A and B are shown apart, each in its own frame.
Chain A
Amino acid sequence: MTGQASAGRYRFAFDIGGTFTDLVLLGDDGTVFTGKVLSDHDDVVAPIRAGLARMLASHGIGVGQVHEVVAGATTAVTNLVIERKGAPTGLIATAGFRDVIEIARELRYDLYDLAAPGPDPVIPRRLRVEVDERVDAHGAVLCAPDPAQVERVVRELAGAGVRAIAVCLLHSFTNPAHELLVRDVIRRVAPGVAVSLSHEVLGELREYERTVATVLNAYVMPMVGDYLGAIESGLRDMGIAATLRVMQSNGGVISRELGERMPIRMLESGPAAGALGAAHAAQVARTPDVIAFDMGGTTAKACLVSDGTPAVTTEFEAARTQRFKKGSGLPVRLPTVDLIEIGAGGGSIAHVDATGLLKVGPHSAGSSPGPACYGLGGDKPTVTDAALVLGYLDPEGNLSGAVQLQPERARRAIETHVARPLGLGVIEAANGIHRIVCEAMAAAAKIHAVEKGRDVRRYTLLAFGGAGPIHAREVARRTGCTEILVPANAGVFSAFGLLVAPMKVDRVRTRFTRLAEMDAAAVEALLAAMEDSLGAELASAGVAPGAVNFRRSADMRYVGQGFEVETELPARIGAGVAPELARRFDAAYAQRFGSHLENQRVEAVNWRVEAFAAAPPTPARPAAGGSGAGAARRTRPAFFPDVGDFVDTPVIAEAVLRVGEPMAGPALIEQAGSTVVIGPGDRFVMDAAGNLRIALGAFAARGAKENA
């Protein structure tokens, strides 16, 4: 994806990862330039400036042509929370309730492991203070706060050295007056301290969850402010006067100012950007329904993209104490792109456990010592070692020069730790590792889809990440998907996702409303007010009023249930609309659970509005393609589980594939950073955009010949 520089305007995005920062320049005419620099966690801006300057110089673009910058600063915010390196933060709570964040929901996430550590409460008890005040569930004031007492506790916290204060008062989302009063006192008494108010961060019922979101927001606010400030001034110093925007977890970007006020919304911006990049690739390939399957060194992630939109959840957990254990983290109930993640990446270690069965992951050899075949001191067999033994990776390969692969070490590790203990041959053991990983991913993807009421078999598997294209075929077979898409330029997906993301803000308000007794005018007023304030936020971020779209929804349930199903609402709530809302809810419920219930009353709990403005369109640029694979007849034996044996398989460099030329498997397509495994009976073609599209053959359906 390189092209001619033009005098046009450019948008620039960078995604700061743990090791690398990816850079993308996107011209208004669709021209794309990419770059990669090493991240520097002491000075995040320097490598971005250096990399950008290099890209501008080598493509003849002037700094004045860059009119917008989008930052994906995900690891910064996430690591502050995981490593508990946020600012010293205080909490102001309603009298009697400062321990809410420590009592949590009183649940243990592991029923049998009594020593399993839970998350710590982020703010120690000495920095949690109380104010005598009370609002009831209807918003009525039972006890008004005394400003003098508020001032006293604020001074106490300021004296203890806090840089941020979270304010979480009971029922503040029904009546925010007391939180606003506390905010005013803080601004007066401790003007340098960052403030986070619970009704603004998450206007939703349930004090523990609201407190967590508010506390985490406060906790990272001072650092994120510094960080965005440094990025902005660093870019300004090199002459770029562009608007700075930041990516959020919900799959939208927002102005720097709003990002700074709500940094908690940036917590999952990296995965969100990846999902948006995948959604964009799917759109370019005209396959609106895809499972984005990203398999890297330590984990595999999947995100369901339906009709071009990545799935979003409000059940995200931050900073789990055990990464793959649900419930071991802190709940952040803000809209977040919904990814499933399992501990199965290229570096995941295979071992025989106490039951005498083969397990793969979640422990990973990572990149150091890495898989046994890297020869860097790792002697445990990994998923990558299995892929090498099965012929998917080039035995002479050197992973783009990083390490020289050593197939003999891979064989030995599998032999010692898997084959011998289980009484299997090395190939059988390697195939077992491969199958177990792929089955785990497929099962996770199927359950994920089922939970959303979707049939995963109708989706195209969109594979990326270093290990994604290697495992995609086996995962697809096990999920029942019949098409695989390996997108062009997957290496900078996340950074590219930043540029195709819409501007987006959203809000939630809890107001219990039984449909049968609904006051339509009051609901309309509530939603209209939410739209007004969201519209104003987008306007302040530079979006023209005409460009703003709204999406309204409500979390609804049958009266008596405790889980809600998000239901899309019509644009206006007028008198007599209740039956229509009930119908919509029934349909959403049926999609989720198979059928809806009869003769049950329906209520709405949370009302949601999302305001968004689409990113500028990205014109597609045709791929150049190569001269055809006809001449390149290198082969190597690769194992195909459906054949049950090695097959001599052509090895083709992706660059030589001719656009539009239909090809038949088996084939191993070598691309920068990965290999695409295509089986006997499959058909494939490189499309006009440079994507590889693979149709699994009938032969690929699992037969009785193969047990699993």
Chain B
Amino acid sequence: MSPIDLEIYWNRLIAITDEAGAALKRTSFSTVVRESNDFACVLLDTEARLVAQSSLSIPGFIGTAPLSLAGMLKVFPRESLAPGDILFTNDPWVGTGHLPDATMAAPIFLRGRLIAFAIAVAHLSDVGGRQWSADAGELFEEGIRFPVIKYAEAGRVNPLVQSLLEANTRLPQQVKGDLEAQMGALRVAERRLTEMLDEYGLDGIDEIAAGIFRASEEAALRELRNIPPGVYHGGVDSDGWDEPVRIRATITVTPAGVTVDYSGSTAQVRYGINETYNHTYAYTIYPFKCLLSPGIPNNDGFTRLFKVIAPEGTIVNARHPAAVGARHLIGHQLQAAVFEALSGVLPERVQADSGTPLWSVLLRGIDTARGTSFSTILFFNGGMGAMRGRDGPPAAGFPANISNTPVEVAETLAPVVFGAKRLADDSGGAGAQVGGMGQVVSMRSRWPGRMRVSLLTDRTRIPAKGILGGAPGRTGHVRVNGADVPNPKGVIDLAEGDLLELALPGGGGYGAA
């Protein structure tokens, strides 16, 4: 295949996933999908290798779709699939690490022959269980779980699955809409891919995929070979639930690839901050993508260079039925361990640790007497770490790229009045380059009863480290009426008039000041 044809086809495949992604984002009912791009649309070849992925997806989906599809095909082998089938699961160990993420896969046929798969993954509005927080003791408290099933067969949705799901969620209308949005995205991908192949007179994507893999792999290898082969160590510590969590990464670089081994990390814990392997894998690949080939779209040609070892039973690869609902609290920190490990050999590219993970605050109130209720989730970001040549940006979504909810929208959705949302002066770590400022957010409850608030926060005890001599950022805090909330990862109650204050941590500095 000529390099010109390959360039044209490759761009078309990405355009197809982007079009599917845009449709999903705009029709979804889930706040995190539309405001925060918590979704992915991808195309895979028949061997379940990632060929093209929508550009906007957050890092939690880098390279997870192939793992998910492989898990699905174990249950439904290729020969059991027909046009119009849609495979579905929200199993954290097959999908992306927690129950709210629904993974849907559609086989794509051309003239009766299976030629590719499309996958749409997105965060559903609600899957039942406890209010989203880290305080579940096991998976069963976190919502309904669907093993790998056929959501649709030959174009017909399985009514049992739909009614089961609707019966187990607080937001049946919205979840139904979410799933329709995902199916719509799969239809877009399928239609556009077959149109493209017809247009160019092609009978499959295998040759294109091979070209994409080769080009991407060679480009990444050239960058990789600038790193001296060797073994590098990095780590990151964070608050954890009741005691600190330690992540240790041993990175072995050879001219042919990279192995990241998390042996020595904290064992899995009794609360919902455990990761499944797939999520760990995605957030391990992400910093390498930033370091080696930020400009090249994601595909198997890049991910094949990485091997991730996460010993079973550790917090980065928990065993079923560990609670995993807030797995991002750990996943978002893996980048810091990778950057630290490689800071000596790539000093011009690494970044100090950030005021991660993002914080989420779920506000919920039910007034059974008046028959009213509300439920709203708000996101806030701390400051990013500094790197050579640039200070850390203040209040920025990293590594996940999750936007805030505007104050005016939040006040429309929930009975609260915000007192402030301002940058926290001097919260970034000092250094040759200063870490990004965190922010201070305060809100007062106007709900006439008990408002239940789920808090998912971190770095209130252990700050984001500086790098190459930079100072750590300032820790954050959560206070109610001025008093510290000792362990802000669970559910607290606010009475009418109570003031909740969140101070998000600053990012670490770079280099000695």
List residues of B (363-417) whose CB comes within 8 Å of A's CBs.
Answer: 379-381, 387, 389-390, 393-398, 401-404, 406-409, 411-412, 417
B484 within 8 A of A: no
Nearest residue, chain A, Cβ from B174 = A560
A435 within 8 A of B: yes
A185 within 8 A of B: no
Measured between alpha carbons, how far is A697 from B242 in the docked complex, in Å?
Answer: 73
How far apart are B506's CB and chain A's nearest CB, in angstroms?
14
Please pick, from B3, B351, B398, B422, the residue contacting A356 in the complex, using a CB distance under 8 A.
B3
Q: Is the CB of A205 within 8 A of B422?
A: no
Q: Is the CB of A708 within 8 A of B4?
A: yes
Please pick, from B23, B290, B406, the residue contacting A112 in the complex, using a CB distance under 8 A.
B290
A443 within 8 A of B: yes
B420 within 8 A of A: yes
How far apart are B483's CB and chain A's nearest CB, in angstroms?
20
How far apart are B392's CB and chain A's nearest CB, in angstroms?
10
A98 within 8 A of B: yes
Whether A102 contacts B423 in the complex (CB less than 8 A), given A96-B418, A355-B216, A512-B412, comes out as yes
Q: Is the CB of B404 within 8 A of A106?
A: yes
B141 within 8 A of A: no
Q: Is the CB of B398 within 8 A of A108?
A: yes
Measured between alpha carbons, how far is A436 from B10 in the docked complex, in Å?
Answer: 11
Q: Which residues of A contact B390 (CB under 8 A)?
A: 115, 117
Q: Which residues of B contact A560 (CB under 8 A)?
A: 29, 125, 171, 173-174, 177
Please pick, from B184, B199, B403, B411, the residue contacting A137 in the complex, using a CB distance under 8 A.
B411
Nearest residue, chain A, Cβ from B420 = A96
Please pick, from A97, A106, A431, the residue contacting B395 in the complex, using a CB distance under 8 A.
A106
B27 within 8 A of A: yes
Q: Is the CB of B200 within 8 A of A562?
A: no
How far apart are A574's CB and chain B's nearest CB, in angstroms?
27
B201 within 8 A of A: yes
Interface string of B185-204 (1 = CB under 8 A from A): 00100000000000111000
Q: Is the CB of A435 within 8 A of B8?
A: yes
Whether A707 contacts B174 in the complex (CB less than 8 A), given A96-B420, A102-B394, A356-B218, comes out as no
Q: Is the CB of B404 within 8 A of A142?
A: no
Q: Which residues of B contact A595 (CB under 8 A)?
A: 184
Nearest residue, chain B, Cβ from A480 = B199
Q: Which residues of B contact A357 (CB under 8 A)?
A: 3-4, 6-7, 10, 215
Q: Which residues of B contact A352 (CB under 8 A)?
A: 3
A358 within 8 A of B: yes
Measured between alpha carbons, how far is A702 from B200 in the docked complex, in Å?
Answer: 8
How far apart are A315's CB and chain B's nearest CB, in angstroms?
12
Q: Is the CB of B26 within 8 A of A593?
A: yes
Q: Is the CB of B406 within 8 A of A205?
A: yes
Please pick, from B34, B379, B389, the residue contacting A562 in the complex, using a CB distance under 8 A.
B34
How far apart are B213's CB and chain A's nearest CB, in angstroms?
11
Q: Is the CB of B417 within 8 A of A136?
A: yes
Q: Is the CB of B177 within 8 A of A561?
A: yes
Measured between alpha carbons, how far is A19 from B418 in the docked complex, in Å?
Answer: 49
B80 within 8 A of A: no
Please pick, from A136, A359, A561, A708, the residue contacting B411 in the complex, using a CB distance under 8 A.
A136
Q: Is the CB of B398 within 8 A of A354?
A: no
Interface string of A489-529 (1 = CB under 8 A from B): 00000000000000000000000100000000000000000
Q: Is the CB of A447 within 8 A of B417?
A: no
Measured between alpha carbons, how far is A205 from B18 in the docked complex, in Å?
Answer: 28
Q: Is the CB of B423 within 8 A of A563?
A: no
A684 within 8 A of B: no
How far apart are B430's CB and chain A's nearest CB, in angstroms?
19
How far apart are B445's CB and chain A's nearest CB, in angstroms?
13
Whether A447 contacts B19 in the complex (CB less than 8 A), given A96-B419, A103-B404, A107-B403, comes out as yes
A118 within 8 A of B: yes
Q: Which residues of A contact B187 (CB under 8 A)?
A: 594
Whether A106 contacts B421 in the complex (CB less than 8 A), given A357-B6, A443-B15, comes out as no
Q: Is the CB of B4 within 8 A of A358?
A: yes
Q: Which residues of A contact B34 (CB under 8 A)?
A: 561-563
Nearest residue, chain A, Cβ from B425 = A125
List residues of A (544-591) whose CB comes within 8 Å of B's CBs.
Answer: 558-563
A422 within 8 A of B: yes
Whether A600 contacts B173 in the complex (CB less than 8 A), given A136-B417, A512-B412, A561-B34, comes out as yes
B180 within 8 A of A: yes
Whether A114 contacts B423 in the complex (CB less than 8 A), given A447-B15, A447-B18, comes out as no
Q: Is the CB of B401 within 8 A of A111?
A: yes
Q: Is the CB of B177 within 8 A of A205?
A: no
Nearest residue, chain A, Cβ from B379 = A106
Whether A450 contacts B411 in the complex (CB less than 8 A), given A103-B439, A355-B219, A357-B3, comes out as no
Q: Which residues of B contact A359 (CB under 8 A)?
A: 7
Q: Is the CB of A112 within 8 A of B294?
A: yes
Q: Is the CB of A106 within 8 A of B408?
A: no
Whether A443 contacts B11 in the complex (CB less than 8 A), given A115-B389, A702-B199, comes out as yes
A408 within 8 A of B: no
Q: Is the CB of A99 within 8 A of B422?
A: yes
Q: Is the CB of A113 within 8 A of B29?
A: no
Measured between alpha carbons, how far is A645 from B171 in the docked complex, in Å?
Answer: 61
A to B CB contacts below 8 Å, 22 in the list: A97-B421, A105-B406, A106-B395, A106-B402, A107-B403, A111-B58, A112-B289, A115-B389, A205-B409, A208-B406, A352-B3, A354-B295, A355-B215, A355-B216, A358-B4, A428-B4, A436-B4, A439-B12, A561-B177, A594-B187, A703-B201, A707-B201
Known: A98-B422, A703-B201. 15 other contacts (CB 8 A): A106-B396, A111-B401, A114-B294, A114-B387, A115-B389, A136-B411, A354-B295, A432-B2, A443-B11, A447-B15, A451-B22, A561-B27, A562-B34, A597-B180, A704-B201
5 shortest interchain CB distances as A-B pairs: A96-B420, A112-B294, A432-B4, A704-B201, A355-B215
A interface list, Cβ under 8 A from B: 95-100, 102-103, 105-108, 110-115, 117-118, 134, 136-137, 142, 170-171, 205-208, 352, 354-359, 422, 424, 428, 431-432, 435-436, 439-440, 443, 447, 450-451, 512, 558-563, 592-595, 597, 599-601, 702-704, 707-708
